[in-house]
Amino acid sequence: MLVLCGAGASSTFLAHALRRQATVRGLPHTFAPASVAALSMPLTSVDVVLVSSHVADFFDQAAIAAHAIGATAIQLPALNFDAAGANIALDLLDSLPQVTTESSNNG
């Protein structure tokens, strides 16, 4: 799963929190941080794109890029980059019909 933010710093913090909480929950999800600049290139190898609240203006672009490879984009609410915030994001992921742990979008 790709975690998008403005410059890549906050997505790194959130990705770390998500990894920790996924481990606590026994979920084998993987999370990679990225900046919105990643949307200027075709997305590959992701099933879900999590868009941080402070870059909500880029959600439509993220959704189009995700859709192009059969992935899903989720707009995250404003949340802290800690266990509580990660749990909110993981709950959103749990609400998706099927979230895979390894991407089938390899290209």
In a domain, residue 107? The reply is no
> Which segments of the chain have a pLDDT < 50?
100-107
Q: Measured between alpha carbons, how far is 71 from 105 in angstroms, rounded to an integer?
A: 8
Q: Which residues of 3-41 are buried (b: 16+ CB within 10 A; e: fewer)?
A: bbbeebebbbbbbbbbeebbeeeebebbbebbbbebbee
In a domain, residue 96? The reply is no
What range defines the domain where residue 40 resides?
2-89
In a domain, residue 48? The reply is yes
Any idea what the CATH number is for the domain that residue 83 is in? 3.40.50.2300
Q: Give CA separation, 57 vs 18, 41, 53, 77, 87, in Å.
A: 23, 18, 9, 13, 24
Task: Give the total number of structural domains in the chain.
Answer: 1
In a domain, residue 97? The reply is no
In a domain, residue 98? The reply is no
In a domain, residue 100? The reply is no
Q: What local confidence, expressed as pLDDT, does residue 101 receive?
A: 43
In a domain, residue 7? The reply is yes
pTM of the shown model: 0.85
In a domain, residue 12? The reply is yes
